Chains A and B, each alone.
Chain A
Amino acid sequence: MSGDEPDGDGAAVVAAVEAVAERIERERDHLTELDSAIGDADHGGNMARGWAAAAEAARDLDDPDPQTVGKTVGKTLMSKVGGASGPLFGGSLVFASAELDDGIDAESAVAFAETYLQKVEDRGDARLGDQTMVDALTPAVHTFKKSIETDELPPLEALAKAVDAADRGVAFTVPIRARKGRASYLGWRSVGHQDPGATSTLYILEELLSVAADRLDAEVPDVDATSPTIPDDAEGDEEAEPAEATASDPEDD
């Protein structure tokens, strides 16, 4: 949603929602497979149903602004996805959309991303390292914010870096133990499983990036995952969190 449209383009957001819906539908079985290992095997179906309905609701809006699209999609997800994912994916989107009063620019996109993360954390009472969608979302949001505010990168490049960070966040869910959500009931047996919510979060971000690049008629920027930018000031402590969370993991129990 960091598209560079100067006054925010609702149509671009609708296109992004449609792309997400198609992607989730394509990945439906994969998400279900991930969820069946640690949960109740309904993440793929619930998300596909919800995003299909959200895309339809977004299409039905008459020349909407980005905020209206965000709220409509959020409310539709809330009512159609159900379970815990409805409030997490949908409710958070409704609240984050409040940041888009004046459309989408780099500043409002950062505020949107931060509010979304905050709502997911609060609602799920989950933090980094709990093997949840927060593990994909946190590095993505922190990287996006830093790329915009500190590194002053163009929004598309900042979004590309955020997607890359989310990708590594998804990988980070595999070797750790679930502490929130249905999978936490498995205790140590959750180790070795990729979190479905983190995975669908990554798919959503990837589609936002792809649609944003399309709209700007640009290539998706190539991000070198192996050498993330080292901050040249003291503000780099977010980057240290994944390592700490991993290190402290085996201590409880």
Chain B
Amino acid sequence: MEQGVSISTIMKKLINDPDDVVDEMLDGMLAAYPDRLRRLPDTQVLVRDDAPVKGKVALVTGGGSGHEPTHAGYIGDGMLDGAAAGGVFSSPTADEFEALIEACDAGDGVLAIIKNYEGDVMNFETAIELAEMEGVEVDSVVVDDDVAVEDSLYTSGRRGVCGTILVHKAAGAKAAAGGDLSEVKRVAEKVIDNVGTMGMALTSCVTPEKGEPTFDLGDDEIELGIGIHGEPGTERTDTMSADAVTEELTEAVLDDLDLDPGQEVLTIVNGMGGTPQMELFVVNRRLQELLGEHDLETWDAWVGDYMTSLDMAGASITVCAVDDELKELLGASADTPALSQ
């Protein structure tokens, strides 16, 4: 990857110092939402301004930065109570996760929503054990919706990607409606059991630290099955039309989910950070046609940047089978910086 980096691929960035980028991003978020969010002192943890919220199971998450609006963008009514931000593409440490859990617990228990990456899982699990020693009731779910790879550079098992947003949404609605910890966990797992995602990249992303593409993708190449850290996908191919890409991603997800005809689904066409909305809607158009061809019923279709990979151009497609319960929860009101309905 070192070869082939020309001057034109060394990106201009709106950053001051790579070491400060997460810290300054969090301060900027606080400045944008001063009445919604607050930052725990000496941490990179953001929580609801009114945390801990009495009489409600708390929902917490976290992970590397660079996936905005994931994670802190989903803090608010009907979704998360707080989120820990790690360095760019690296897990928060266990002590930060522990501070997050303890700050959000109002005595009704905490559900940790963990994306399946080795560092996230190990640090979160350590934090949970420490918080339990402090008397907090904590349970967790691990999201592994990426159908592209079984094991990857950063995981054993499948990676957790954009389907996580639906876990935040459904579990958040259940918690807001007064569900206890086991009920909130049950609906989180119901989403996890019924959701699949696959992504692709048109370009690499550029991390602030390196200042150059993290992998080398030729002008006429795309990468299928990409994760959200610029890690290798399953297949590198020649560029294809939007429709052909959409077919590849959709078929892979539907293959994995193996849904019955007539099944209702929620879909997400997610931008990876550097993709114009125009292109996302072009993808969504073909996605909805394909679902029709498979006799699947679209209950709701989301299009936008939900979980990104810095400035990567590309998209992921998420399909989640929904029943009456999930429709009620996923359709319930939410009021967060990144998602309101």
Binding site for B on A (CB under 8 A): 75, 78-80, 82-84, 86-88, 90-91, 94-95, 123-125, 180-182, 184-185
Interface residue B130 (Cβ < 8 Å from any Cβ of A)? yes
- Are A185 and B152 also in contact (CB < 8 A) when A86-B94, A87-B94, A123-B125 are? yes
CB distance from A83 to the nearest CB of B (A): 5
Instruction: Name 7 interchain pairs, CB-CB below 8 A, sorted by A.
Output: A78-B95, A79-B94, A82-B90, A86-B93, A86-B94, A90-B94, A91-B126
Interface residue B324 (Cβ < 8 Å from any Cβ of A)? no
B93 touching A79, Cβ below 8 Å: yes
Q: Which of A78, A87, A88, A185 has the most CB of B within 10 A?
A: A87
Interface residues of B in 116-130 (CB under 8 A from A): 118-119, 122-123, 125-126, 129-130
Instruction: Pick from B118, B126, B151, B154: contact of A78, CB below 8 A.
Output: B126
A87 touching B123, Cβ below 8 Å: yes
- Are A87 and B122 also in contact (CB < 8 A) when A82-B90, A94-B130, A184-B151 are? yes
- Are A84 and B119 also in contact (CB < 8 A) when A78-B93, A78-B95, A185-B152 are? yes
Q: Mark B87-127, 1 if CB is under 8 A from A, else 0.
A: 10011011110000000000000000000001100110110
Chain B residue numbers with a CB within 8 Å of A78 are 93-95, 126
Interface residue B239 (Cβ < 8 Å from any Cβ of A)? no
Q: Mark B156-187, 1 if CB is under 8 A from A, else 0.
A: 10000000000000000000000000000000
Chain B residue numbers with a CB within 8 Å of A86 are 93-94, 122-123, 126
Q: A78-B93, A83-B90, A95-B129 are in contact. List 20 more A-B contacts (CB 8 A).
A: A78-B94, A79-B93, A79-B96, A82-B87, A82-B90, A82-B119, A83-B91, A83-B119, A84-B122, A86-B123, A87-B126, A90-B94, A123-B126, A125-B156, A181-B118, A182-B118, A184-B151, A184-B156, A185-B152, A185-B153
Residue of B nearest to A95 (CB): B129
Instruction: Pick from A82, A87, A182, A185: contact of B125, CB below 8 A.
Output: A87
> 4 tightest A-B contacts by CB?
A91-B126, A87-B126, A79-B95, A87-B122
Instruction: Pick from B118, B151, B152, B153: contact of A84, CB below 8 A.
Output: B118
Chain A residue numbers with a CB within 8 Å of B151 are 184-185
B153 touching A182, Cβ below 8 Å: yes
Instruction: Pick from B90, B122, B130, B154: contact of A123, CB below 8 A.
Output: B122
CB distance from B242 to the nearest CB of A (A): 31
Chain A residue numbers with a CB within 8 Å of B129 are 91, 95
Chain B residue numbers with a CB within 8 Å of A79 are 93-96
* Complex CA distance for A180 and B122, rounded to whole angstroms: 13
A124 touching B94, Cβ below 8 Å: no
Chain B residue numbers with a CB within 8 Å of A87 are 94, 122-123, 125-126
* Complex CA distance for A146 and B204, rounded to whole angstroms: 53
Residue of A nearest to B99 (CB): A79
* Complex CA distance for A198 and B87, rounded to whole angstroms: 26
Residue of B nearest to A123 (CB): B122
* Complex CA distance for A75 and B126, rounded to whole angstroms: 11
* Complex CA distance for A125 and B156, rounded to whole angstroms: 10
Interface residues of B in 303-331 (CB under 8 A from A): none
Q: Mark B9-36, 1 if CB is under 8 A from A, else 0.
A: 0000000000000000000000000000
Chain A residue numbers with a CB within 8 Å of B123 are 86-87
* Complex CA distance for A84 and B94, rounded to whole angstroms: 10
Interface residues of B in 187-232 (CB under 8 A from A): none
Chain A residue numbers with a CB within 8 Å of B119 are 82-84
Chain A residue numbers with a CB within 8 Å of B91 are 82-83
Residue of B nearest to A75 (CB): B95
CB distance from B159 to the nearest CB of A (A): 13
Chain A residue numbers with a CB within 8 Å of B93 are 78-80, 82, 86
Q: Mark B126-158, 1 if CB is under 8 A from A, else 0.
A: 100110000000000000000000011110100
